[in-house]
Amino acid sequence: MTASRIALVTGANQGLGRALAEGLAAGLNPDDLVLLTGRDRQRVADAAREVAAAPATRARVSGEVLDVTDTDAVARLAEELRVRHGGVDIVVSNAVARLLPGESQAERADEYIDVSNTATHAVLRSFGPVLRPGGRLLVVASSLGTLGHLPKRLHHLFDGADLDQVEYAVESWRSAVHQGTAAEDGWPLWLNVPSKVAQVAAVRAVAAERRDGDLAAGTLIAAVCPGMVDTATSRPWFEDFSHAQSPARAAEAVLSLLLSERVDPAHYGELVRFGTALDWHSGTPSTEQDHLLTP
Ligand SMILES: NC(=O)c1ccc[n+]([C@@H]2O[C@H](COP(=O)([O-])OP(=O)(O)OC[C@H]3O[C@@H](n4cnc5c(N)ncnc54)[C@H](OP(=O)(O)O)[C@@H]3O)[C@@H](O)[C@H]2O)c1
């Protein structure tokens, strides 16, 4: 057991995840530890070395290979941190699979869903129980994560659902994509829409079960929307990047949730964008083109 804080970010070797790891390394104390995780050993080692050497870095930084689609590995790492450190203080589930324009969304569905959704469920299930009092567990979603982005006939699958029910809804969606019935069932073609709604629903499910205890302990579980960020994932989808934030800029609002002493109860279990909780029922299903990577 140690008094120093342990922070972990998934998909942290580039993009927003890396900026979050950098911000945590700068904002935490020298005896705290930031685990910069990702799926590729070399990319993780390179990023961890660079973040550790950054002038602003104060905390210790360690690279750790974690392919989030390996749910056993997610569970093993959570257990290891429980045994070694008594738990974890900050967890950010951030990884996303990169889709390119022109690729078949249906053909990439399994990887996309595994990285964004199956992994989010695994992180919530494995790290939720080892989150220390006063901890933070954030899932990076997007503005598309509010329920209104799905047609009304799908709302019952996610509204008020527990985590098993969210998982069931995700697997129903996956099956519909495989069977070619997703469109007639009402699922948006663009994978990031159902995926982000399901991520927020998963957060809401877990948060509903532990809200009172967490708020009493100063613990925050929430989903976050970073806004449009200039990263390798978003860049192929937009011609005009004049409104995109740098990853470091986009990380700021998320870092303030991670590092602030106080938890705003209005944020708890919600999708938070730049410090404001979005209404879960807001949003409208729009044309497929509008859905691309709306931040
Ligand atoms: N960019 C935007 O405008 C925007 C807007 C709204 C929401 N978001 C959300 O912000 C988060 C970060 O997005 P980003 O734009 O920063 O993406 P990014 O730059 O492409 O970074 C994605 C990260 O996820 C990692 N990853 C992919 N598959 C993985 C796996 N199986 N296991 C572990 N890590 C894996 C990637 O690793 P590799 O380097 O090995 O590929 C990479 O480090 C995502 O949840 C995204 O949906 C982004």
Give 3's pLDDT tier (boundaries 50, 70, 90).
low
Residue owning tokens 């390996």: 70
Torsion of CA 161, 166, 168, 171, to 10 degrees: 150
Look at residue 37 in the predicted model and tell me its pLDDT. 99
**C-alpha to C-alpha distance for 98 and 162, rounded to whole angstroms:** 28
Q: What is the pLDDT of residues 236-248, one digit of tens each?
A: 888 888 889 999 9
Ligand 1 atom nearest the C-alpha of 12 is: 43
Mean pLDDT of the 203-210 span: 98
**C-alpha to C-alpha distance for 277 and 118, rounded to whole angstroms:** 24
CA distances from 139 to 15, 118, 134 (A): 15, 12, 17
Ligand 1 atom nearest the C-alpha of 19 is: 16
Look at residue 288 in the predicted model and tell me its pLDDT. 52
Ligand 1 mutation pick, 9, 41, 96, 237, max ligand atoms within 8 A of CB: 96
Q: What is the CA(292)–ligand 1 centre distance, in A?
A: 15
Q: Which residues line ligand 1 at a C-beta cut-off of 6 Å?
A: 10-11, 13-17, 38-40, 43, 67-69, 94-98, 115, 140, 142, 226, 228-229, 231-234, 293, 295
Ligand 1 mutation pick, 10, 229, 242, max ligand atoms within 8 A of CB: 229
Does the pLDDT at position 253 exceed 90?
yes
Look at residue 289 in the predicted model and tell me its pLDDT. 46
Mean pLDDT score of the chain: 95
Q: What is the CA(209)–ligand 1 centre distance, in A?
A: 28
For residue 159, what is the DSSP state?
A: T
Q: What is the pLDDT of residues 53-76, one digit of tens each?
A: 999 999 999 999 999 999 999 999
Q: Which amino acid is at 214?
A: D
Hey, which residues does 33 pair with through a beta bridge? 6, 60
Hey, which residues does 64 pair with through a beta bridge? 37
Residue nearest to atom 42 of ligand 1 (CA): 11
Mean pLDDT of the 93-114 span: 94
**C-alpha to C-alpha distance for 228 and 246, rounded to whole angstroms:** 9
Choose the weakest-confidence range: 32-41, 135-144, 172-181, 239-248: 239-248
**C-alpha to C-alpha distance for 216 and 12, rounded to whole angstroms:** 30
Q: What is the CA radius of gyration of the chain?
A: 18
Does the pLDDT at position 178 exceed 60?
yes
Give per-residue burial for 20-45: e unless 16+ CB within 10 Å, then b: bbbbbbbbbeeebbbbbbbbeeebbb
Ligand 1 mutation pick, 190, 233, 294, max ligand atoms within 8 A of CB: 233
Q: What is the pLDDT of residues 134-149, one digit of tens each?
A: 999 999 999 999 999 9
**C-alpha to C-alpha distance for 148 and 127, rounded to whole angstroms:** 29
Torsion of CA 166, 170, 172, 173, to 10 degrees: 140
Ligand 1 atom nearest the C-alpha of 93 is: 45
Residue nearest to atom 25 of ligand 1 (CA): 11
Look at residue 6 in the predicted model and tell me its pLDDT. 98
Sheet strand arrangement including 131-140: 60-65, 33-38, 6-9, 88-93, 131-140, 220-225, 271-273, 276-278
Percent of the chain clearing pLDDT 70 (strictly above): 96
Percent of the chain clearing pLDDT 90 (strictly above): 89
Which residues have a Cβ under 8 Å from the Cβ of 259 and sit 6 or more positions away? 23, 24, 27, 28
68: how many CB neighbours lie within 10 A of its CB? 25
**C-alpha to C-alpha distance for 93 and 226, rounded to whole angstroms:** 13
Does the pLDDT at position 2 exceed 90?
no
Strand bridging mode 131-140 / 88-93: parallel
Does the pLDDT at position 293 exceed 90?
no
Which residues have a Cβ under 8 Å from the Cβ of 243 and sit 6 or more positions away? 228
Mean pLDDT of the 84-106 span: 94
Give 287's pLDDT tier (boundaries 50, 70, 90).
low
Residue nearest to atom 11 of ligand 1 (CA): 94
Ligand 1 mutation pick, 20, 36, 39, 240, max ligand atoms within 8 A of CB: 39
